[in-house]
Structure 1
Amino acid sequence: MEEKSVNTSHRLTLDNRKEAFVTGVKDVVSFDEKEILLQTADGRLQIRGSQLHVKGLNLEKGEAALAGHVDSLVYLSKDSVRKEEPLLKRMFR
Structure 2
Amino acid sequence: MEAGHKVMLTDRKFLLVEGVRHVESFDENEITLNTTMGFLILKGEGLHINQLDLEKGNLTAEGFFTSLLFQEDRSRGRVKGKNVLKRLLK
TM-score strictly above 0.5: yes
Q: Give runs of aligned pairs for residues 1-93 of structure 1, distance below 5 A.
A: 8-77=3-72, 78=74
Long gaps (5+) in structure 2 = 75-90
User: Of Structure 1 and Structure 2, which has the larger fraction of its residues in helix?
Assistant: 2
> 1:7, 1:52 → 2: CA distance?
28
How far does residue 7 in structure 1 lie from its aligned partner after superposition? 5.8
| Normalised TM-score (structure 2) | 0.77
How far does residue 27 in structure 1 lie from its aligned partner after superposition? 0.3
Q: How much is the aligned-residue C-alpha RMSD, in angstroms?
A: 1.4
Alignment length, in residue pairs? Answer: 73
How far does residue 51 in structure 1 lie from its aligned partner after superposition? 0.2
Residue identity in the other structure for 2:23: V
Regions of 4+ moved over 2 Å: none
Task: Using the aligned pairs only, state the percent identity.
Answer: 40
Long gaps (5+) in structure 1 = 1-5, 79-93
Residue identity in the other structure for 2:11: N
